[in-house]
Chain A
Amino acid sequence: MITSTHYMFLSAALFMIGVIGVMVRRNIIIIFMSIELILNAVNINLVAFSAQLQNGIGQVFAIFVIAVAAAEAAVGLGIILAFYRNKETVNIDEMNLMRW
């Protein structure tokens, strides 16, 4: 019997994989993909609760999360392209223009 606890464990594991990707990798494109994994983990949680509570509101919020993820990907990749044009790198350790 698959309960919502199983889905929560899957979601937590996927979230942790995304967090580890953000912290370990230095390629900023892979860091953005890890953020997409994290948002997917959140969506799995929302849809699992929506199915458990027999309530469609969780799916509505998952749609909002997808919309925000699309906006984030568009703006973030625009920033990556603009930065790459100036500094010829995608290494996050070299992105320290605004660090004091």
Chain B
Amino acid sequence: MSGGYRQQPGASGGTTRKDGKRVAGKQKFPPPGSGGSHPNMAPRDLDWIPESVGGNEPQPAGSHIHDRYRTGTSVGKPRALVDSHAKVTGQAWYGDDVRLPNEIIGKILRSPHHYAKIKSIDTSKVEALPGVLAVATGQDAPNTFGVLPVTKDEHAMAVDKVRHVGDLVACVAAIDEATAMEALNLFEVEWEVLEPVFDPRKGLEDQDEPIHWRGKYHVGKTNVQKRVFQEFGDRSLVEEPSASSHGKWRMEGVHHGFTEPHAVVAHWDPNGRLQLYTPQQVPHYAHRALSTVLEVPMHQINVIRTFVGGGFGGKSDPFPHEMCAAILSRKAGRPVRINFSREEVYWINRGRHPSHIEVKMTADEEARISGFDIDALIDGGGFASFGHVTSYYNGVLATAPYELGSFHYTGARVWTNKPASGAMRGHGAVNTRCAVEVGLDEMAEQLEVDPIDLRLANLLPPHSRTISGFRITSNGMREALERVRKGSNWDEKFRQMPLGKGIGIGCGFFISGSGLPIHWDPNRFPHATVHMQIDMDGGVTVHTGAADIGQGSTTAVAQVVSEVLALPIEMIHVRSHESDTSPVDLGSYSSRVTFMNANAAIRAALDIREKLLNAAWEMIGYHPDVLVLNDRRIYYKHDPAVGVSYLQALHKAQEDKGSLIASGAYRSPPMGGVHKGAAAGLAPAYSFSAYVAEVDVDVETGLISCTDVWAAHDCGKALNPLAVEGQIIGSCHMGLGQVLSEKMVYGRTGHLQNPNLLEYKIPSVHEMPNVTPIIVESSDPEGPFGAKEAGEGPLLPILPAVVNAVYDAIGVRIRELPLTPDVVWKAVSAKTRSLDGIDPTDLPAPRLTHSPLQATLVERGTEHKARDKKRQRSEDTSAYVNGVLFGFDPEIPMEDQVEGWRTAVEPDPEQLAELGLAGKAWLKQEQRHMGGEQ
């Protein structure tokens, strides 16, 4: 037993058992232990204390405001997630594990039609079936809801018409599943079938009966749900480019493919309050929507988030089946459970939008990127969901990490008679990112330069502003690129491997927490609030609404509290399951949890810390400025023997007050521009990533196997490197699915043809490449201990990296995702035909001889590297806005120094003729007062 300072209050020493384990001695203060099985304080580990505060932890990106609260306890140490024991032992309670006494089973009657009016529903036979306890139809709950307050277009069940096959028509609850299923066959519904729309391009046209009325501002008589126009910069720069890339992409819709199907249990308790158990990413949205639909005040509803068996964005909407369970339960007077089959999961969907994306890019004679011109038509399916935001993200999240001469975006989201698209990991940014990164690869080829050097010479520096007005703080893009280049041995492989083997690069840029809390004014309410409570036992209970969906948010919150208070993580108990006990929180979406909740948790912990230090000050007479927190003990900096245990300080602090309680909140700083849509894509920080992928392509069959990935992600500071690596590897897997094999197939008749996990082809472990995760730490000034997101951004680069690698392997550029073997084969066949029908095995592999421009780029990249380092470490704090690379002055507004510099959110009349596919939505006039909610 090593020496140290005793933790327990009380004087007497312990004994040592025969097996060597120490047993604490009798204590004057009986019940509480020290909070750890080890009776002595562990020595302070300087390796986990940053340089800036006297430790040994290197800080190449500079110091951080939270450095002085580091105690070396938890931050930066790889550790298993706190809920991992529950999961690996099968004790985690997912949606389907909740079992309430007297529970009955609910089933949903679903539409067999794509688009139809309900003329009547006769439920008399259903009600007559023995064992049926409740029946409900759309008329029971006509109020609309939706995840975004601006687009409430959903009902618990169809009120007047159904909008896709699988849409909810009615529901029934019965004593068991078999009876409920039998009951479904007894509904008699009279339909009036309407003409459905499946092709989003058709959705731009006028229709007699649009799928929804857009309320006050309907766009013509079309199915356009949202249209966006944004133009920034100097459009004259794109004239006479030195290189250009013009690609039209077709991306299929993909689904999250989470393991756990939706499951919900609703129960009205004896006091008439609704208790709803559901695996939700955002219990608060469900809470609000339930209140609206059921016409019950929010305080009479308790939403209990079960463990979530994967969400990835697919469990962040309030769902109609949650309403159905509550309605049935209210009618039957018994708890009602509704479990989904996999087919139903696909029918509720909310996956990534099927997209038509057109990207025109240009570079000037110095290989500066003079323009991005993006047009994205996205297929929203039957409901709005998050689509309003997705419509913006498809454009605005392409405005970094590169410095642009101009940016032009037209986007439109249309309703079609298919299951609704929504938010999915990498929300809105994934598809355009892929198109843009592939375009860069093509421009690099035209300029005869290395695509990595092209990127390195065009990056926005840390602490800068994008062309659309986003505020970039920390930025590890350069380091990420450099590290994957080195790790993959890029310079030895690119354009040098034999036919069929290829290597490619792709970058990513993503928000770390949406700057706008959808439901309230960020100036009035904080984004996140965390409550903390410590009682005599010394355990810290943290209340947060952060929804752990497997990504480890509970662990992140526990870690930062453990770090600030220097307590073992076992002493931190995070309670986040019930809306009754957790502060209002927007849950897990937009990669906000670590950034916002951990920041709020740090603030609450600092409050507690201050109280503890003041108590210690009173006890030992040293001012808090010279006190150190370390492993359940507070002591004088220069003599660790002079100190008190954590519990002694706690009990002192508790005198007269009882338990210590603190509350912390996070709100984002004011930021962003003032133009319409300026808030979309705003975030307090952004993550950056660069991946290199290596592939084997079978030129005859078109089968692609991704063999290796070097994945560098800038997460600011890895609070838990194990979790960050897990997110990187998991993102690779998910992105690989989208680029290689996953797609929601709508056949000739518009039916979703593969609503099951055999035909919806998620890569298995066998298809997984060897992924080398590389963590880049740029230390974000506002992130908790410097951290940014790592949950979504890491997905973006894998798609373009693979597509570019396929080009390197076979010299064929394919702009259709996923790259299923038939798609590759078709492209290879077209290429061989154009080469006089040569055998595919004789295709020429692409090669590269550098042009003189390469040296210019390397030189510029080196200069920028020095520039970035100074800015990162705050040695250079001058302003930097997009445009400096083109010779403009960052201090003067661009409009004042460049003639023709535009910030426009609506097309000029003369532009209308030349807009792309989605831009055509702007040809229609808005019509007012057409009914509907928006």
Same assembly: no
Interface residues of A (CB under 8 A from B): none
